[in-house]
Amino acid sequence: MRRSTVRNVSLAAVAATVLAVGAAAPPSTEPPADEPPVKVPVAVGHGGAVASVDADASAAGLAVLRAGGNAVDAAVATAAALGVTEPYSAGIGGGGYLVHYDARTRTVHTVDGRETAPRSADASLFLGPDGAPLPFAEAMTSGLSVGVPGTPATWDAALDAWGTKPLRDLLKPAQRLAREGFVVDETFRAQTRANEERFRDFPASAELFLPGGELPVVGSVLKNPDLARTYEKLGRQGTKALYRGDLAHDIVRTVRNPPVRDGATRTVRSGDLTVRDLAAYDTVWRRPTKVTYRGLDVYGMAPSSSGGTTVGEALNILEGTDLSAASRDTYLHRFIEASRIAFADRGRWVGDPAYEDVPVKGLLSQRFADARACLIKDDRALTSPLAPGDPRDPVPCATTGTAAPTTYEGENTTHLTVADRWGNVVAYTLTIESTGGSGITVPGRGFLLNNELTDFSFAPANPAVHDPNLPGPGKRPRSSMSPTIVLDRHDRPVLALGSPGGATIITTVLQTLTGVVDRGLPLVDAIAAPRASQRNSALTDIEPGLAADPVRTRLAGLGHAFREVAEIGAATGVQRLPDGRWAAAAEPTRRGGGSAMVVHPAPE
């Protein structure tokens, strides 16, 4: 994900545009607009807060809050800006999940904006003529992997329900950012380099991301006038313009006949998306998942995402252990084992509830969690793959059937978190799946198409066991996105967070939550802490900070096996402090660090 120092004109344009269309703003306590903002991972103060991976995007959301907009308004403006500066992670060619806390009613609601498969899709979507699964690299860079985008419809649904500003105004900061450009940094250049071969095979992608046929230079300004015009069109005509009319036809044409350069040797499969598929798309209002943990109510995203059920089950498993008094060894051991068990159950039971009988109530029941928690022993680690339990009929310490391996999920998602002066909160995770999505830019439109359908299982791990995540007509692939909001016993928000990272999203959110709630860490410190991620596999991923720690050796003595990875996740969140101030927090270093801002900064 891109982490740049913002070009002077960029922040000035964002602030000026939003303030011009909104209500009169209170006096600013930020640096003058002609000075670039200093990217910081934590900001404390009043009046609202924004945390995202990018300073331009956070500035767009903050300007909306200053102009009298609420958390939903600011979230949409932030997300639109991320579509410009983080095009390999998010954009209108993808989808996501939005969790909203309404301060007036003290209730939590969610919007499922996950992409959908074409209505022609079936379980053989990713099988070759011989019945064998396609190579993943071939599937990911194809029209075959593109689902109907859900991000524009998510914005529309959220603004219709809770917004106070029109979409056309909220898109203007991102329009200007796309037109005037943003500064390329090392991370953006590195991600472009990783996609260079793919992008060169698609002329529209090469023209946009390889200016002059070369990798963008660090410090140069990258402009996207096509996306600026697309945003202007959506602002003028509404998000329906992406699902009907010439823009929809352009998307379908690109998917069904991917525009590959002459002479390219890459096999690029066509998809079967139709204009009817786009016209039929809609978001889904879902009841949030909810578990009570240490007297707090933890709300998350229900299936089609597995985030809410898997985080919730793991928290229920951990409820029986006093993690605040536990040693560091015991805390990490229990965290790893609870993750392992919850992922075992996720693989067996969670899919799109429109097509699968997902036992959400059972997965989130304390009775089921207790039946699974008794598998955990303090003197030895469990082994993976672990077979699932049955939430419909919990039997203590029992496992049922065959373990389902965790399928690959692209890690270059993004997450933003917003709170406003009225106490409304948004946790919003959005994505185009892999870094660079499908690699295919819609010609003349300035955005990459997702490859989300690769989140489906290509084939059952065991033909004798039902796989709830096989492709189907109009089906939503299972996700791990875990936007989460935590309320106190008075139904007031105390914490909201989320992360990118594919399946590691779940463990990142779980570890950060327990770091705050159980270990007493400030949110920014819980985000910064070195991470582990166990997803029902033989090896537990750990970051260098844990790999070099003596705790690794002690855990290995219990039977844990580890694999060192450079980074796990990249969280952002907001925390309401006891005195009513907001603390916005983002990554200090992972993926280049994030950007936290508040309307009225105050001393910590």
Distance between CA atoms of residues 328 and 411, nearest Å: 28
Distance between CA atoms of residues 399 and 385, nearest Å: 11
Q: What token pair was written down for 270?
A: 């066509």
Could you write out the DSSP letters of every residue in 491-547? S-EEEEEE--STTHHHHHHHHHHHHHHTT---HHHHHHS--EE--SSSSEEE-HHHH
- Residue 484: strand, helix, or coil: strand
Q: What are φ and ψ of residue 297, in 5° steps?
A: -100, 120
Which residues sit opposite 107 in a β-bridge? 102
E strand or H helix at 66: helix 55-66
- Residue 425: strand, helix, or coil: strand
Single out the catalytic residue among 309, 413, 414, 431. Answer: 413
Which residues sit opposite 598 in a β-bridge? 49
Say if CB 392 and CB 359 are below 8 A apart.
yes
Which residues sit opposite 113 in a β-bridge? 96
Q: Report which DSSP code applies to 591.
A: G
C-alpha torsion 206→211→217→223, nearest 10: -100
Residues 6, 545, 376, CA angle at the centre, nearest 5°?
125
Distance between CA atoms of residues 255 and 278, nearest Å: 12
Say if CB 597 and CB 57 are below 8 A apart.
no
Q: What are φ and ψ of residue 426, in 5° steps?
A: -130, 130
Q: Which of 527, 95, 99, 480 is nearest to 309 (CA)?
A: 480
Q: Report which DSSP code applies to 212.
A: G
Distance between CA atoms of residues 419 and 324, nearest Å: 28
Which residues sit opposite 575 in a β-bridge? 495, 583
Q: Which of 187, 210, 211 is nearest to 199 (CA)?
A: 210
Tell me what percent of the chain is helix, strand and coil, each rounded to the nearest 5. Answer: 35, 15, 50
Helices assigned H by DSSP within 258-305: 275-279
Q: Which of 113, 89, 88, 86 is nearest to 99 (CA)?
A: 113
* Catalytic residue list contains 17: no
Say if CB 191 and CB 435 are below 8 A apart.
yes
Could you list the active site residues?
A: 413
